[in-house]
Amino acid sequence: MKDFDIIIIGGGPIGIACGLEAQKKGLSYVIIEKGCIVNSLYNYPLNMQFFSSSEKLEIDNIPFISIEAKPKRNEALEYYRRIVTSNQLNIQLFEKVNAIDESNDLFLVNTTKDTYRTDNIIVATGFYDIPNKMNVPGEDLEKVSHYYKDPHYYSSQKVAVIGASNSSVDAALECYRKGADVTMIIRGPEIGERVKYWVRPDIVNRISEGSIKAYYNSNVKEITDDEIHIETPEGNIAIENDYVLALTGYMPNFSFLEKLGIHLSEDYKKLPSYNPETMETNVPGIYLAGVICGGMETHKWFIENSRIHAPMIINHIENKIKAQKTTVAN
């Protein structure tokens, strides 16, 4: 059994920021990450460029120098990795949390490799692991993916891209430029308003000229081995198809939060309950940090506006530990 003041679940940018703050305060901690360092960023598309500028992705005032104002995925990987290694953060990689139980007013964290004991848990697990499913026949076919990595794979193939967000638009443009026959299937009447401002005109123009086919106000009804069936305003149609990139967004692991006893709002947003001044949830000793705080509103929190969670949480924990020590001393 290993004892720590704080256990941080999730080794993304905000989890790392929490580790840095704990280390500065002299608090014992461990970051538990089920994959590699900043695992979600690692699984982003190879050529992804952030919407935020590099200084807005900085944590702990450590400068982030990038070639362009808005850094690429590989630059972010290098930045956060160097922070972890240079500061010798206590991080356990490729270790998954299986269960969290309470015993004698302490949390017991059981993982695939060890068991830990703590008074305080910070959940900074993000939302990139669970895709929003379309729940249509054929979604489980091998040719369907909810993640996109590299356009080369889809060269000379008929590719359907589902969605109109940044990830969908990037995939459609990159695959088109690598020689794929791209069709976009979009639930709304236009390309998403939050698409990166320097990319949106590009996709709109490619659709206008016919280089990329787009079906607006449309939904996927079924996917077969060689076709995709679409419900459009003009009626149901079927088009030839080799691959489907269902980039329909992602969601936090709500079942994990519920098992911890964290209350979620009863509407579709499923907003978790927490104190906005301390980030402590309705379960004393359990805190939330980063994008997971937004529930289904995954566009609400980013690295740039959730960096503040780390000092808020660690300051609260530090003051709580000091108060406990004072009480014991008296």
Sign of the C-alpha dihedral, residues 172, 177, 178, 179? positive
Q: Give me the residues of the chain with pLDDT under 50, please.
A: none
31 burial level (CB within 10 Å; 0-12, 13-18, 19+):
buried
Beta-carbon contacts of 99 under 8 Å, excluding residues fewer than 6 positions away, are: 109, 110, 259
3-state class (DSSP) for residue 286: strand
Per-residue pLDDT reduced to its tens digit, 233-286: 999 999 999 999 999 989 899 999 999 999 999 999 999 999 999 999 999 999
Q: What is the pLDDT of residue 316?
A: 97
According to DSSP, residue 211 is labeled S
Q: What is the pLDDT of residue 330?
A: 64
Q: How far apart are CA 179 and CA 168, in angstroms?
A: 17
Place of tokens 């990319």: 199
Place of tokens 């000091």: 322
Residue 138 CA: distances (Å) to CA of 157, 163, 200, 212, 224: 19, 17, 30, 24, 6
According to DSSP, residue 330 is labeled -
Per-residue pLDDT reduced to its tens digit, 28-64: 999 999 999 999 999 999 999 998 999 999 999 999 9
Q: How far apart are CA 23 and CA 311, in angstroms?
A: 11
Whole-prediction pTM:
0.91
